[in-house]
Amino acid sequence: MKKEDIQAEKIAGNKVVVVLDILLATTSIVSALDNGALQVIPVIDAGEGVRISQQFAAGHFLLAGELDAKPLEGFIYPNPLELNKEIKGKTLILSTTNGTIALRKSNTAGIVYISSLLNNFFVAQTILKEDAEQTIVIVCSGNAGEVSLEDFYGAGHFVSCLLEQQISVCLKLSDAALSALSLYRGWQGDAAHALQSSMVGRLLYQHGHEVLSFAADTGSVHMAPTLINGVITNTSGV
Ligand code: MLT
């Protein structure tokens, strides 16, 4: 997604929105909160990140970001395995090519959940508990406006999590949701292989498989972070 599209593409309010950027923005956000980050502020670009960071005392925040897979000057590269080592008790200010832009576009919707393979199950459970009748929009961040396999796989996994938990609710799935579900089922639970096969996954794999295995660690986080007034916190986890 491009930042200039933000005004045109904002999501209409009064829907529950679930944002996915499996490689890696939403995985990084969920995992940062799970590792003790106080909050995460998704920003549009480096300039906004620097401006926001000036509101925090040194040592109380981490400024992380990339653009088109290249590190932003003065920012830490947003590799969750590295970020998690120093995130405890701090605010993460994060700028990424697609994921944080998708989050900012979603900010006008009713409730925005940040999800990933790590916490899809918990987010699905939380949404069904809150109000099983509502319309759920799954936003796949994609890559430069294109569909990305890992996010579509993540969307299918999320739909599967909803189906697993429905007790008295009859879910009405759109064709897009059914397509994502079919794709997810086709991989027969082999998340690591699915991620590794994607375009972004193949690029990441050149630097080692650790981060892909990390993003594929399905169900490892019991947390449903939400984006409220531009800030992501864990409002409903354990
Ligand atoms: C993106 O937003 O394009 C990616 O998620 C960047 C990343 O976090 O690796």
Best of 19, 21, 31, 206 for a ligand 1 pocket test (most atoms within 8 Å of beta carbon): 21
- Select from 175, 30, 23, 18 the least CA-distant residue to 106: 18
pLDDT tens per residue, range 110-143: 899 999 999 999 999 999 998 878 899 999 999 9
Contact partners, residue 189, CB within 8 Å, separation at least 6: none
Q: Is residue 91 part of a domain?
A: yes
User: For residue 164, what are the domain limits?
Assistant: 11-232
Tokens describing residue 91 = 């605010």
Burial class (CB in 10 A: 0-12, 13-18, 19+), 56: middle
Q: What is the CATH classification number for the domain harbouring 200? A: 3.90.1560.10
Q: How far is the CA of 94 from the centre of ligand 1 (A)?
A: 10
In which residue ranges of the chain is pLDDT below 50?
1-8, 238
Q: How far is the CA of 119 from the centre of ligand 1 (A)?
A: 18
Q: For ligand 1, which residues put their CB under 6 angstroms from it? A: 21, 23-25, 28, 66, 78, 96-99, 141
The overall average pLDDT reported for the chain is 91
Q: Is residue 220 part of a domain?
A: yes
Give the per-residue SS3 of the chain. CCHHHHHHHCCCCCCEEEEECCCCHHHHHHHHHHCCCCEEEEECCHHHHHHHHCCCCCCCEEEEEEECCEECCCCECCCHHHHCCCCCCCEEEEECCCHHHHHHHHCCCCEEEEECCCCHHHHHHHHHHHCCCCCEEEEECCECCECCHHHHHHHHHHHHHHHHHCCCCCCCCCHHHHHHHHHHHHCCCCHHHHHHHCHHHHHHHCCCCHHHHHHCCCCCCCCCEEEECCEEEECCCC
pLDDT of residue 168: 57
Which residue type sits at 178?
L
User: How far is Cα 120 from Cα 143, in angstroms, rounded to an integer?
Assistant: 20
User: How far is Cα 51 from Cα 160, in angstroms, rounded to an integer?
Assistant: 40
Q: How far is the CA of 92 from the centre of ligand 1 (A)?
A: 15
Q: Is residue 6 part of a domain?
A: no
How many domains is the chain built from?
1
Indicate the pTM of the whole model. Answer: 0.93
Q: Is residue 238 part of a domain?
A: no
pLDDT of residue 15: 85
Q: Is residue 37 part of a domain?
A: yes
Q: Is residue 5 part of a domain?
A: no
Atom of ligand 1 nearest to the CA of 78: 8
pLDDT of residue 18: 97
Q: Is residue 93 part of a domain?
A: yes
ipTM of the shown complex: 0.93
Tokens describing residue 202 = 């193949």
Q: Is residue 223 part of a domain?
A: yes
Best of 2, 19, 20, 24 for a ligand 1 pocket test (most atoms within 8 Å of beta carbon): 24
Q: How far is the CA of 132 from the centre of ligand 1 (A)?
A: 31
pLDDT of residue 144: 87
Best of 44, 68, 98, 139 for a ligand 1 pocket test (most atoms within 8 Å of beta carbon): 98
pLDDT of residue 10: 58
